[in-house]
A and B are shown apart, each in its own frame.
Chain A
């Protein structure tokens, strides 16, 4: 197993290289740093001197791939490719275009993101599994039918409306919790309640329906018939046998997104004014701060691969049939 994990980690390197190369091409080859500077400085009537100055200030005044003027190894390191792209491999995110240390910002902002994402995930999981089990138990009845109809209806509502509706109803009309903002420590609790509730409700439709399908898929298997032939009551067939098997895809599906919880939810954070990585990303996009976008792309890719590896490992933990070789 350790050999397997090591191999997967090694396989991550070419993928991250690919991601890096892709972003490099996107950010520096399709448009040159000059274009970027011109846009930041505003429009066409910008002097060349101003552009040069902006590039020097932000560390873009370097050749792309090969620096002929530099000495020795610097020929390769004193380039945009190395400084802006490859350094990400050392988790050196550098400075944002507005001059802040990106690494520091990320380490500060991941906590509020987690404070929203983890409760949303856990509560959502609990709620969805409960509903799905209920529908599976009452399968092929009116309860099941209308349950699915409600799920589809809830799925058809844009996430934006859950947020706007939640804010309007709970925050503005009922005045129960603040509409947006954040605080430190326990004081943040009252800011977290609404985003979590909205997040959970927004996920019920798709989640419940998906888990219901998983349960029903298991219910038709042969071993369930064996369990019934033993004389087990239907609820124990469902809990003792079906549930355990359906939990495998559910859990591994959760594990794969686990690392990505760090990066937070773009919409929720920006609507509720949570200073997490999601709103950080959105702000960066809106301010066209490419340094941050590059850093977040790299971080996201690392976490995605981590999620894949964790999923494989979690399979060996929950499914006795799976051995990693």
Chain B
């Protein structure tokens, strides 16, 4: 199919997936970690949010497997690869990506947004809205389009329902087998929520997602569901491509800052004295610099570096990827201090606890004390912070891209979409769809993340639990 390309962020994100799985395995073996997670998935909100987040993650991961497509074969059998880097997601979303128009077009439109000079078959030139190259091109009569859309939609919904039903049946069959009940009964209990975990919320959310995917798959390949942007690219495709960027910023940033925050926070709280003084000095200094300005300065410096060393990068994608990683890094530097301070305070309290003193009295070394006694008891704070920070970072990306110090302008991101669409609000009629698409996609992700974070916090924070 093509030559695989490993971008830096791709590698990191899959390392992160690996670490998450490792952590899941570790958590599974430790009751004190498993119990709060059980509480999390018992919450309906969390389970619903989790399904939605799951879809974002799948899109993001598919979009993180890159390759250069083969375009031709040389005489000696060597393959010739395109300079353009594509992802598995691009391949799946083929028509969405390929159906490019000339410029703006409204959702479900079959005509362009702007008038053009059109040459008629008889040679005369009329100034009118031209038909789109791809959307609705199969229609002889543009007036039929709503009926056509409905027809496609029906097919899409049917497919979605079918896939969902098969999934539910499979799950019910497994449960029926395990519990030795009839299949019909199992389906009933599942969908009516008579189960220990609120499966029904997950399943109903799943149904919505399946139907949406069905719609996109059928209608989306014949129409631009969310219109097209200035250069005629499908807005839905852009919004979906932006998922990866949002996820990267939200997860990689925390990943790069975690080691420093944990190490320094624990050390400051545990050793106190001059170690604490030095670490406090470091984070107060970093905190003193206004975050946006630090990011701006760093990005501008990177910009100079890139423009002076432009030859070192083979493709635009690679360059944009480096900038994304750099942004994560610099965002991490501005955001680790909060967690570090939290951990320092908590370690301060923990080190005075009697079990730490008992360890000391048995001659346990400092490193082992930190590893065995302090770290496991602050892990919940780390987890809560990671989950809560995620949505904040996704939102921050949009703002930064808006001030031009976010991701590379060539990269799909919600921030870039908003930035691009903002000026078009002044047009008549208003070009609202890019903005709306970015809003809906971002809002859904952030809301799901926030709701999930709330449940995680309640489940893991013993202080909050006692106050209930």
Contact = CB atoms under 8 A, between A and B. Distances in A.
Chains A, B in direct contact (C-beta < 8 Å): yes
Interface of A: 14-16, 18-19, 22-23, 26-27, 30-31, 35-36, 38-39, 43-44, 152-153, 155-161, 164, 168, 172, 216-217, 220, 260, 263, 266-267, 270, 281-282, 285-286, 288, 290, 293, 296-297, 300-301, 304-305, 308
Interface of B: 281, 284-285, 287-290, 292-294, 296-298, 300-301, 303-305, 307-308, 391, 395, 398-399, 402-405, 418, 422, 425, 435, 439, 442-443, 446-447, 449-451, 454, 467
A26 B298 contact: yes
A262 B101 CA distance: 47
- In the A-B complex, the 7 residue pairs with the smallest Cβ-Cβ separation, listed nearest first, are A300-B290, A18-B285, A301-B288, A156-B447, A156-B446, A304-B288, A285-B296
Given A220-B467, A267-B402, A156 B391 contact: yes
Given A26-B298, A160-B399, A293-B296, A286 B404 contact: yes
A305 B286 CA distance: 12
A172 B289 CA distance: 37
B43 to A, nearest CB: 14
Contacts of B285: 15, 18-19, 22
A216 B467 contact: yes
Contact of A35 (B304, B405, B447): B304
Contact of A15 (B288, B297, B418): B288
Contacts of B287: 304
Nearest to A263: B290
B467 A14 contact: no
B300 A297 contact: no
B297 A27 contact: yes
Contacts of B446: 156-158
Given A159-B399, A285-B405, A296 B290 contact: yes
A285 B285 CA distance: 22
B237 to A, nearest CB: 21
A251 B398 CA distance: 30
A293 B442 CA distance: 30
The A interface, classified by DSSP as helix, strand, loop or mixed, is helix
The B interface, classified by DSSP as helix, strand, loop or mixed, is helix
Contacts of B451: 152
B438 to A, nearest CB: 9
Contact of A267 (B301, B391, B399, B435): B399
B398 A18 contact: no
Contacts of B447: 152-153, 156
Contacts of A164: 418, 422, 425, 435
B306 to A, nearest CB: 10
Contacts of A18: 281, 285
A158 B467 contact: no
A239 to B, nearest CB: 21
A184 B298 CA distance: 36
Nearest to A267: B399
Contacts of B307: 39, 43
Given A15-B281, A18-B281, A23 B297 contact: yes
Nearest to B308: A35
B22 to A, nearest CB: 30
Given A31-B305, A156-B447, A290 B467 contact: no
A31 B301 contact: yes
A158 B297 contact: no
Contacts of A44: 308
A36 B296 contact: no
A44 B310 CA distance: 10
B52 to A, nearest CB: 12
A27 B403 CA distance: 20
A161 B439 contact: yes
A41 B450 CA distance: 46
Contacts of B395: 158-159
Given A217-B467, A293-B296, A305 B288 contact: yes
Most buried by B among A44, A159, A160: A160
B446 to A, nearest CB: 4
Nearest to B284: A15
Nearest to A35: B304
Given A27-B297, A285-B296, A300 B442 contact: no
Contacts of A30: 301, 305
Contacts of A27: 297, 301
Contact of A288 (B300, B399, B442): B300
B304 A39 contact: yes
Most buried by B among A39, A158, A286: A158
A214 to B, nearest CB: 12
Given A152-B454, A216-B467, A293 B293 contact: yes
Contacts of B449: 156
Contacts of B404: 285-286
A323 B367 CA distance: 36
Given A39-B307, A156-B449, 16 more contacts: A18-B281, A31-B308, A43-B307, A152-B450, A156-B443, A158-B442, A160-B399, A161-B439, A220-B467, A260-B290, A266-B403, A282-B403, A285-B405, A300-B293, A301-B289, A304-B287
Contacts of A301: 288-290
Most buried by A among B288, B303, B447, B454: B288
Contacts of B290: 260, 263, 296-297, 300-301, 304
A158 B444 CA distance: 11
A296 B284 contact: no
Contacts of B301: 26-27, 30-31
Contacts of B391: 155-156
B288 A300 contact: yes
